[in-house]
Homo-oligomer: A and B are copies of this chain.
Amino acid sequence: MNENGGLPQAATIAIAGLGLIGGSLARRLVADGRRVVAWNHRPHPYEQARAAGIECMDRIEDLALAKPDVLVLCTPLKAMPQALASLAPVLGPHTTLTDVGSVKGQVRDEVKAAGLADRYVGAHPMAGSEFSGYGASSPDLYDDALWAVTVDGHTDYDRFLIVADMICNGVGNRIIVLDDDTHDRAAAMISHMPHVVATALANELTAMPERNIAQALAAGCWRDMTRVALTDPDRTRAMVEEDAANVAELLRHMSRRLAGMADLLESEATAASDATAESSRESIRGFFSVAQPYREFKAWQRSGDVDYDEVSLSIDAGNWRADLLESAKRGEHIIRLAGRHGFVAQVRTAL
């Protein structure tokens, strides 16, 4: 590891997989002056990537041989076991291994199975779009993005620091530190389950006899609620299957919420008495008012008047994981490293 004032630096970064996420990350790191070596399972993006200053390699093993400080797995989730199997025999202990997979428990299991757990730190940048491939990549994809960095009881602190250097200093992004389970439950809530909902909406339209008229009437609401249904459905399916238990549980909750509202609307319309109708009406009002604190939080966030306070975090070397997990729960996002045991975080107001 390169050292600088006690802080490990990710001077050379290897990217395995030059799709939307990996390609955008590579271009962003090159723009920060980092050396980026990359490999893709097919060489078709190499000409463009080389023109952007990325060193492209023939084989994934070549990435390990370049002795990068950090190697980032940016392949699709289903390709990770194969990528790890290819890397395991050749990846030296100097290199810290990380990834950008949208589920973290499953990737850690695969890293363990490949015998690379000692050098692994999980990561998941909250950035993306409904497009795929290097052709759709852009350094801007990471503007103001937050990364979840996932650790367990075996994660090495120096390896965490070098990944944090890549994210905060190299990409210019924020970090929260989580355990795998907390990450996967939260990601199911705000991304994986909603992708299924968006797809179900598109399926419902497709099944409708008046679909052409419905599509003609569609405006902003429909466009936004089905945008992610336009994603490559194989990529969505893989993401959902890798977080299946969490997604299934949330889908059951949503299914009950929607059926419950159908019940209320029908009982309001067909109630035999005014009292019954009013009771249904009151429950419908309740459904629409539950999320009021969330609406107010978003209104504040969107007011343009948002100024986040900064705090300094001092980390106890023996207890760093718990300290950083607590910081994340308080709604703090790490934006800078300040010495080996200090961080600067923004306080983002919590719900």
Task: State the A residues within 8 Å of B (CB).
Answer: 124, 126-129, 145-146, 148, 176, 178, 182-183, 185-187, 189-191, 194-208, 210-222, 224-225, 227-230, 233-234, 236-237, 240-241, 244-245, 247-259, 261-262, 265-266, 268-269, 281, 284-285, 287-295, 297-299, 328-329, 331, 333, 348, 350-351
Q: What is the CA–CA distance of A148 and B241 in the complex, to the nearest angstrom?
A: 40
How far apart sit A269 and B249, CA to CA, in the bound complex (Å)?
13
CA distance A210 to B224 in the complex (A): 25
Q: Known: A211-B351, A251-B259. Contact between A126 and B290, CB under 8 A?
A: no
A127 to B220, alpha carbons, bound, how many Å? 8
Find out whether the CB atom of B258 lies under 8 angstroms from the CB atom of A220.
no
Interface of A is mostly: helix
User: Contact: B257 with A217, CB < 8 Å?
Assistant: no
Please report the C-alpha to C-alpha distance between residue A140 and residue B252 in the assembled complex, in whole angstroms.
40
> Are A258 and B265 in contact, with the CB atoms below 8 A?
no
* Residues of chain B within 8 A of A299, CB atoms compared: 230
Are A204 and B295 within 8 A (Cβ)? no
Residues of B within 8 A of A219 (CB): 126-128, 145, 190-191
Q: Which residues of B contact A176 (CB under 8 A)?
A: 213, 216-217
> For the complex, what is the distance from the CA of A214 to the CA of B298, rounded to whole Å?
14
Residue from the list B248, B298, B348, B351 in contact with A266, Cβ < 8 A: B248
- Max chain B CB contacts within 10 Å: which of A213, A236, A248, A333? A213
CB distance from A4 to the nearest CB of B (A): 29
- When the two chains form their complex, are residues B225 and A198 in contact, meaning their CB atoms are under 8 A apart? yes
Q: With CB as the reference atom, state the residue of chain B lying closest to A213.
A: B186
Q: Looking at the complex, which one of B213, B222, B289 makes contact with A194 (CB distance below 8 Å)? A: B222
The CB with the most chain B CB atoms within 10 A, among A198, A218, A250, A261, is that of A261
Cross-chain contact A204 with B233 (CB below 8 angstroms):
no
A294 — which chain B residues lie within 8 A by C-beta? 202, 205-206, 229
Add 6 more A-B contacts to A189-B208, A213-B329, A230-B299 (CB < 8 A): A182-B210, A189-B204, A215-B351, A240-B265, A241-B265, A252-B258
The answer on a CB contact under 8 Å between B290 and A203 is yes
A221 with B210, Cβ < 8 A, contacts A257-B200, A258-B251, A331-B216 known: no
User: A268 is contacted by which of B196, B241, B288, B293 (Cβ under 8 Å)?
Assistant: B241
B127 touches A199 (CB 8 A): no
Considering the chains assembled together, what is the distance between the CA atoms of A78 and B229 in angstroms? 34
- Asked if A221 meets B190 with Cβ closer than 8 Å, knowing A210-B185, A216-B348, A291-B202, the reply is yes
Can you report 7 A-B residue pairs in the complex whose CB atoms are below 8 A from each other? A146-B216, A197-B225, A206-B290, A207-B290, A215-B351, A244-B269, A251-B258
**Among B182, B191, B212, which residue has its beta carbon within 8 angstroms of that of A221?**
B191
Task: Please name the residue on chain B nearest to A146 by beta carbon.
Answer: B216
Cβ of A63 to closest chain B Cβ, rounded Å:
27
Q: How far is the CB of A236 from chain B (nearest CB, A)?
A: 6
Q: Is the CB of A258 within 8 A of B197?
A: yes
Knowing A195-B221, A204-B189, A245-B269, say if A213 contacts B284 (CB, 8 Å): no
Q: Is the CB–CB distance between A248 and B221 below 8 Å?
A: no
CA distance A145 to B217 in the complex (A): 9
Q: Are A215 and B200 in contact (CB under 8 A)?
A: no
| A287 & B230 in contact (Cβ 8 Å cutoff) | no
> How far is B351's CA from A298's CA once the two chains are assembled, in angstroms?
36
